[in-house]
Amino acid sequence: MTRRKPPTPRREWAYFFDLDGTLIDFAATPAAVRVSEDLRLLLTRMYRSAGGAVALMSGRPIADIDRLFRNARMPAAGLHGLERRAARGTVTRHRPPVPAARMERVRRRLAAAVNGKPGLLLENKGLALALHYRRAPRLGAYAHRLARSLLPVLGGNGRFCIQRGKYVVEMRPSGKDKGVGVEEFMREAPFRGRLPVFVGDDATDEFGFAVVNRLGGVTIKVGPGKTVARWRLPDVRAVRAWLAS
Ligand SMILES: [Mg+2]
């Protein structure tokens, strides 16, 4: 049962925020999203008042997060936890479990398939490959079939997995997810010992919710849909209003 209104934010908590669909509204393509000065200021204020215990948890690479939040360089988990920048600034990267040549082979196959399908977008994230169909939702089933059919090229044995999301299907290395990312942050200062809060809107955030629930923290799902989160907010605007409180 999802209770409606989450408890008021407290400065002694540790915060984990998804970006797209949680703090930022979706745009036609991932590159087209805009971060307002208001949001930058809001996050900077939270980061200071929570003693630095604020981490951005995204499917985007960290370089992309830094492009959106110029000069912020907050703790962050990128590529669903495959890369992580700790509070002290050091970045760790999960090593790709398959040869670059195989990744390139799959990338080429996807690029060729996308070429003849307007509205389908291939995003090469380096360690992961994502097919976006936000501009052509009817191509969703095709995109999922394509990703599943190419997964064996990246190796069976669960070395890679399919990560589904809103109008996106992604092939990414297994072993890390946003839940693992939360656990890693929670072992380190300034997160350690605090009550964790996770806010997210998509399937990849459910891993974060599960870990934070286990730690007795606050989990907030943004928007409709099935979730293990204990609270819910309707949209990005409501998340920002909640943070401003
Ligand atoms: Mg999201």
User: Could you count the other beta carbons within 10 Å of the beta carbon of residue 167?
Assistant: 17
Ligand 1 centroid, distance to 101 Cα (angstroms):
30
User: Could you count the other beta carbons within 10 Å of the beta carbon of residue 138?
Assistant: 8
**Confidence at residue 16, expressed as pLDDT on a 0 to 100 scale:** 98
Ligand 1 centroid, distance to 204 Cα (angstroms):
8
pLDDT band at 239 (very low <50, low <70, confident <90, very high): very high
Mean pLDDT of the chain: 94
Strands 195-200 and 76-78: unpaired
Tell me the per-residue pLDDT of 129-174, one tens digit each, with 9 for 90 and over.
999 999 999 999 999 999 999 999 987 678 899 999 999 999 999 9
Compute the average pLDDT of residues 178-197: 98
**Confidence at residue 2, expressed as pLDDT on a 0 to 100 scale:** 55
Ligand 1 centroid, distance to 145 Cα (angstroms):
22
**Confidence at residue 3, expressed as pLDDT on a 0 to 100 scale:** 60
DSSP of 92-126: EEPPPSS-HHHHHHHHHHHHHHHHTSTT-EEEE-S
Between 222 and 100, name the one with better pLDDT: 222
Ligand 1 centroid, distance to 29 Cα (angstroms):
13
Portion of the chain with pLDDT greater than 70, in percent: 98
Tell me the per-residue pLDDT of 4-25, one tens digit each, with 9 for 90 and over.
689 999 999 999 999 999 999 9
Ligand 1 centroid, distance to 179 Cα (angstroms):
14
User: Could you count the other beta carbons within 10 Å of the beta carbon of residue 34?
Assistant: 9
Ligand 1 centroid, distance to 203 Cα (angstroms):
8
Task: Please state, in angstroms and rounded to a whole number, the distance separating the CA atoms of residues 17 and 198.
Answer: 6
Ligand 1 centroid, distance to 11 Cα (angstroms):
24
In the chain the domains, ranked by start, together with CATH numbers, are: 3-94+176-244 (3.40.50.1000), 100-173 (3.30.70.1020)
Q: Which active-site residues does the annotation give?
A: 18
User: Could you count the other beta carbons within 10 Å of the beta carbon of residue 243?
Assistant: 17
Tell me the per-residue pLDDT of 28-72, one tens digit each, with 9 for 90 and over.
889 999 999 999 999 999 999 999 999 999 999 999 999 999 877
- Is the pLDDT reported for residue 1 higher than 60? no
**Confidence at residue 12, expressed as pLDDT on a 0 to 100 scale:** 97
